[in-house]
Amino acid sequence: MFYMLFGAHVSTSGGIENAPENAHEIGAAVFQFFDRSPRGGKPTYTDKSVAEFKANMAKYKIQECYIHTPYYINLASAENRIRFGSIGVIREELESASRLGAKYVMTHLGSAKDFTDKEALALVVDGINKILDGYNGATELLIENSAGAGQIIGDTFEEIGFILKKIKSKSAGVCLDTCHAFASGYDFRTKKALDETLKQFDKHIGLDKLKLFHLNDSKTELGSHRDRHADIGFGFLKEQAFAAIAGNPALKNINAVLETPEEELNYEKTINFLKNLL
């Protein structure tokens, strides 16, 4: 029987092999992490670190893990250094994730500020096709929806659906961030609102493409287009939104991670709250 598993973004301080233990300590069944600095650089771990990482995944009974790409990704940049660098980094992340046994790599797409929306979307599609060309790894690439501030690409289901339909490879899906979606005008606060949001997602993208949740409350109101995460229950979404998500039968096999800034929350307490919603 499938049911939603909960976790959080965890630290790899001291080495990636420490991440599974860090997840275990907060009661997480799954976790997300950066395998390199989110602001630049390359992964620095060794074959020994990879072996220890996998051993600790088993030791602490962690079900799945996911890698988040660095913050600077922009597949629609007018600067070739940034655009082609982003393509290279995402491909590297997929190869690294396959090596580590991570299930997904999720990424933001970038900004359309240098081009028209149509031109920017074409560059994103071209970039993802280049990333996935010849890729044979087990890790799947996920597009994370955005809040839509500053011409950021991927804030609407229509836009994400358009991109996915143009990708030649089928090895791509969606990570749905509740804060970003709420900021983009998609509501989750009641069962009725959630059902309508899922209906729109299915219409434009397809529910079969929804692979993972980022469960974040929002410090700003519906449709604000501002990316401001809040701890669950301390934003405009409130606890009932997450109860609706956790209790929806169509979502029972889609796992979820928390991403709220660590200084503002107790991950273990929030994960226990979510588990009690099932």
For 251-264, the pLDDT digits (tens) are: 999 999 999 765 55
Decide: 75 and 112 in contact? Cβ < 8 Å.
no
> What pLDDT score does 263 carry?
53
Q: What is the pLDDT at residue 111? A: 93
Distance CA 128, CA 109 (A): 9
Bridging pattern class, strands 217-218 and 229-230: antiparallel
Contacts 24+ apart (CB under 8 A), 115-122: 115/76, 115/78, 119/76, 120/76, 120/153, 121/76, 121/153, 121/159, 121/162, 121/163
Known catalytic residue at 108: yes
CA 97, chain centre distance (Å): 14
Across the chain, which distance is largest between two alpha carbons, in Å? 50
pLDDT of residue 1: 54
Q: Which residues pair with 210 in a beta bridge?
A: 174
**pLDDT tens profile 189-244:** 999 999 999 999 999 999 999 999 999 999 999 999 999 999 999 999 999 999 99
In DSSP notation, 65-114 reads EEEEPPTT--TT-SSHHHHHHHHHHHHHHHHHHHHHT-SEEEE---B-TT
Catalytic site residue 9?
A: no
| Bridge partners, 217 (sequence order) | 230
Tell me which residue of 14, 61, 47 sits closest to 33, measured CA to CA: 14
* Catalytic position from the list 177, 217, 231, 267: 177
- Summary count for the chain: helices (H), strands (E): 9, 10
Which candidate in 108, 155, 217, 267 is catalytic?
Answer: 108
* 236 within 8 A of 217, measured Cβ to Cβ: yes
Of residues 9, 36, 68, 83, which has the active-site annotation? 68
Q: Residue holding tokens 């994370």?
A: 144
Residue 144 DSSP class: E
Instruction: For residue 201, give the H/E element and its range.
Output: helix 191-204
Active-site annotation holder among 25, 71, 79, 117: 71
Tell me if residue 39 is catalytic: yes
CA atoms within 13 A on the CB side of 130: 16
Q: What is the pTM of this model?
A: 0.95
- 52 as an active site residue: the answer is no
Q: pLDDT digit of tens for each residue in the chain (278 aa)?
A: 568 999 999 999 999 999 999 999 999 999 999 999 888 788 888 999 999 999 999 999 999 999 999 989 999 999 999 999 999 999 999 999 999 999 999 999 999 988 999 999 999 999 999 999 999 999 999 999 999 777 899 999 999 999 999 999 888 999 999 999 999 999 999 999 999 999 999 999 999 999 999 999 999 999 999 999 999 999 999 999 999 999 999 999 999 999 976 555 689 999 999 999 87
The gap from C-alpha 21 to its chain's centroid, in whole angstroms, comes to 21
**Conformation bin of residue 202: beta by default, left when phi > 0, alpha when psi is -120 to 50:** alpha
Catalytic residue among 126, 187, 239, 259: 259
Specify the 3-state DSSP secondary structure of 6: strand
- What does the angle CA 212 – CA 217 – CA 220 come to, to the nearest 5 degrees? 125
Q: What is the DSSP letter of 162?
A: H
**Structural domains for the chain:** 6-275 (3.20.20.150)
Question: Known catalytic residue: 144?
Answer: yes
**Which one is catalytic: 155, 159, 180, 231?**
180
- CA–CA separation, 102 vs 125, rounded Å? 24
Is-catalytic flag, 68? yes
Predicted confidence at residue 74, as pLDDT, reads: 96
